[in-house]
């Protein structure tokens, strides 16, 4: 009996690479950040995003990041041969993203000339108006990472303490009242974040995927299950298909609570996978 030929409707990967991606956890230690994107306080790595883009789309697909920051998703899409759009509330980060994309085009040479890349300075909560104004086509895949509530405002965070020593580095995303990272009330933040992601549904193709990279957060000695709460709320709009856990093992450990209480060093993120059924 002949073996059935592997038919791949989702991406361009061979069966071996498809199977590798199905592992529910993975270790990814990002390369050092370049100086031109160090200003952003919570950038995620292009190398990680590229793996997701190449799994959830085919060559020539259209990718959207509604909170694109300094352009990681667009750079990853370019390297993968996909068209991409990014929305960014902070005009400074939007400009940095455009500069990063120009540099990436030079690096890629002519291989990226046919690709559409656009960074739009705007509020993702107004996606309907933005999509109409900028002629954004139907989206094959959305990948993004939201603010982890208002945790960048936490004075005790070690990474933030270190960044405060350099006046050229931001410790928060912005002072904009529409910036979800500035909302102090957890329930209000969760409601507005869910509303943003729900609003993307009309622009995402049927059966297409949405990946949200997020963490549960600790504040004032209390755990707020941001990833789990978001998954539960969005499961009313999209189908929650699964999660992948991104682990980092190259981060310095700090002795929180040592000799007194259990306090973990949290070095993992949840990559929540939704599908537009």
Domains for the chain: give ranges and CATH numbers.
Answer: 23-275 (3.40.50.150)
Instruction: Tell me what pLDDT residue 41 has.
Output: 46
Q: Which two tokens stand for residue 175?
A: 């002072």
CB-based contact 133:122 (threshold 8 Å): no
Counted residue by residue, the chain has a size of 277
The packing angle between helices 72-80 and 46-56, to 10°, is: 50
State pLDDT tens for residues 180-232: 888 899 999 999 999 999 999 999 999 999 999 999 998 888 899 999 999 99
Burial bucket for residue 203 (CB in 10 Å: 0-12, 13-18, 19+): buried
pTM for the full model?
0.89
CB-based contact 217:269 (threshold 8 Å): no
Distance, in Å, from the CA atom of 114 to the CA atom of 90, rounded to the nearest integer, reads 27
Residue 88 φ then ψ, to 5°: -140, 125
State pLDDT tens for residues 119-141: 999 999 999 999 999 999 999 99
Instruction: Tell me what pLDDT residue 181 has.
Output: 82
Distance, in Å, from the CA atom of 151 to the CA atom of 33, rounded to the nearest integer, reads 21
Which residues in the chain show pLDDT less than 50?
A: 37-41, 160, 163-164
């Amino acid at each position: 009996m002949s073996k059935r030929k592997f038919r791949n409707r989702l991406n361009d990967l061979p069966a071996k690479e498809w199977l590798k991606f199905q592992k529910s956890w993975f270790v990814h230690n990002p390369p050092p950040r370049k100086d031109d994107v160090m200003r952003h306080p919570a950038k995620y790595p292009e190398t990680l995003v590229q793996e997701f883009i190449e799994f959830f789309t085919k060559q020539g697909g259209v990718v959207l990041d509604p909170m694109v920051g300094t352009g990681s998703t667009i750079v990853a899409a370019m390297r993968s041969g996909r068209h991409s759009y990014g929305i960014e509330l902070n005009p400074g980060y939007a400009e940095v993203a455009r500069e990063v994309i120009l540099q990436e085009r030079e690096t890629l040479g002519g291989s990226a000339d046919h690709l559409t890349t656009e960074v739009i300075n705007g509020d993702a909560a107004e996606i309907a108006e933005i999509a109409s104004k900028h002629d954004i086509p139907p989206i094959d895949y959305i990948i993004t990472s939201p603010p982890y509530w208002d945790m960048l405002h936490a004075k005790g965070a070690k990474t933030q303490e270190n960044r405060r020593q350099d006046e050229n580095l931001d410790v928060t995303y912005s002072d904009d009242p529409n910036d979800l990272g500035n909302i102090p009330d957890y329930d209000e933040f969760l409601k507005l974040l869910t509303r943003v992601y729900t609003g993307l549904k009309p622009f995402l193709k049927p059966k297409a995927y949405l990946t949200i990279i997020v963490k549960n957060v600790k504040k004032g000695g209390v755990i707020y299950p941001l990833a789990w709460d978001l998954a539960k709320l969005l499961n009313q709009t999209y189908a929650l298909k699964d999660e992948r856990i991104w682990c980092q093992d190259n981060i310095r450990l700090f002795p929180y609570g040592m000799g007194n209480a259990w306090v973990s060093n949290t070095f993992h993120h949840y990559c929540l996978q939704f599908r537009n059924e």
